[in-house]
Chain A
């Protein structure tokens, strides 16, 4: 936390929120709705943030007894119950849908070889590139696509879109939005790579709207790693580490 109990009260300075104070403000309920939603989504992926929020919820929960008790309307439980009824069936359907999507993704990844080199080549001259250092030509790339891996970044909130990352060993990563992403005014999404066992993510760069981001092959970690997207001040994190909530992420498996 940035402040102390004994600091001067009249100072209105607002230092950037760290994870601890953000969790405290979230649990207290004083964040703006959009901020609160971003933190809730980030907590689904960021276990440390989730634990910090849970700790604050537990610390403050006894205050709720100041509100006493009140009988809710009798028709409320039937309304809730109506929302539960299809649950087992829906869960089975969701499982089946997930399995079908996994099968489709495998098929898509296999077919990706046909267009991925062109996607990367087309993205190269565009101003939307975050970082690009000499992508291989299509013929060279085509030899690599047999081992292309695909990872979904997101699935933290169905309403908030996400990205699909295609990873070509030795060549790089292409990141595409699955739908138009909400972009808070004055903020940017930034892409990070977190190698397995690494203590901190490495910044890749800011993701421009409707952009394909290409990460050079020599910066793609070998083996399993995570791709993360955080919400940062305009232009990206000033510190080299995420300063805002990590909203999207996915594991690129071996």
Chain B
């Protein structure tokens, strides 16, 4: 009974509070964090690496990094989930880019396919409300090619070279579109416009 109550309390604690407990060496709090976020984070890593073993490594290394850096997490500087998610994403992207033959593999697999698709359906992003809704609204307000590059870079983990090859667009143009897209996104989100 006591154990069940303890478990219930732990599940009810915010991720930020659990990170704080993990920073003090509380493995049970850290296990709760893993249970809470593992499906989402694994899906993110899998989408980026397109390889289950690599995605597993990214999740493992990412969570170990979260454990080691838990003491550095500052709730005043941001929420827990974006901080943890970013840690896992960076590991996935780094593992993908450092994989032997990564550049040639990524370009040859899909050849040079001009990606003319429209921006992905952002309803699942907007459905999160708050920041998600604002992000979806601001992305849709951007020129479509810029929004598409930003979404593809974030979700698929493509480098700017890969994005240039896949969209058959000069690298310099892709870089300029991404920078201007991010600037526009920031202006829209911070200004509440869009």
**A-contacting residues of B (Cβ < 8 Å)?**
25, 27, 30-31, 34, 38-40, 42-44, 46-47, 52, 55-56, 59-60, 63-64, 67, 77-79, 81-83, 85-86, 89-90, 93-94, 97-98, 120, 122, 124-125, 127-128, 131-132, 135-136, 142-143, 145, 150-151, 153-155, 157-160, 163, 170-173, 175-180, 182-187, 189
Residues of A contacting B42 in the complex (Cβ-Cβ under 8 angstroms): 69-72
**Complex Cα gap A24–B153 (Å):** 12
A234 smallest CB distance to B (angstroms): 22
> Once the chains bind, are A30 and B160 in contact (CB under 8 Å)?
yes
Residues of B within 8 Å of A69, CB to CB, are 39-40, 42-43
Extra 10 A-B pairs, beta carbons < 8 Å, given A12-B170, A64-B89: A1-B186, A12-B175, A12-B176, A62-B125, A63-B151, A63-B154, A66-B122, A69-B43, A71-B42, A87-B25
Question: How extensive is the interface on chain A, given as a class?
Answer: 35 or more
User: Does any Cβ of B come within 8 Å of A84's Cβ?
Assistant: yes
Chain A residues positioned under 8 Å from B163 (CB to CB): 30
Residue A58, interface by CB 8 Å = yes
Specify the main secondary structure of chain B where it touches its partner.
helix
A62 and B128 contact, Cβ closer than 8 Å, known pairs A5-B183, A73-B52, A73-B56: yes
Cβ contacts under 8 Å, A91 to chain B: 25
Docked complex Cα distance between A57 and B47 (Å) = 18
Task: Answer whether residue A103 sits at the interface, using C-beta atoms and an 8 A cutoff.
Answer: no
Contacts of B170 in A (CB 8 A): 12
Assess whether B31 is in contact with A72, with CB atoms less than 8 Å apart: no
Question: In chain A between 73 and 89, which residues have their CB closer than 8 angstroms to a CB of chain B?
Answer: 73, 76-77, 79-81, 83-84, 87-88
- Cβ distance A2 to chain B, nearest Cβ, rounded Å: 7
The count of A-to-B residue pairs whose CB atoms sit within 8 angstroms is: 187
B39:A71 contact, CB within 8 angstroms: yes
The 29 listed contacts between A and B (C-beta, < 8 Å) are A1-B179, A4-B183, A5-B183, A5-B184, A9-B176, A12-B176, A13-B176, A14-B172, A21-B179, A24-B182, A25-B182, A29-B157, A30-B178, A33-B94, A36-B90, A57-B78, A58-B131, A59-B185, A60-B135, A61-B81, A62-B125, A67-B40, A67-B47, A69-B40, A71-B42, A72-B55, A72-B56, A76-B38, A91-B25
In the bound assembly, the distance between CA atoms of A65 and B47 in angstroms comes to 11
Render A87-110 as a binary contact track against B, CB cut-off 8 A, 1 for contact. Answer: 110010000000000000000000
Q: Is A122 on the interface with B (CB-CB < 8 A)? A: no
Q: Is the CB of B67 within 8 A of A29?
A: no
Contacts of A83 in B (CB 8 A): 60, 64, 67
Q: Which of A48-56, A176-184, A185-193, A225-233 contacts B (4 or more CB under 8 A)?
A: A48-56
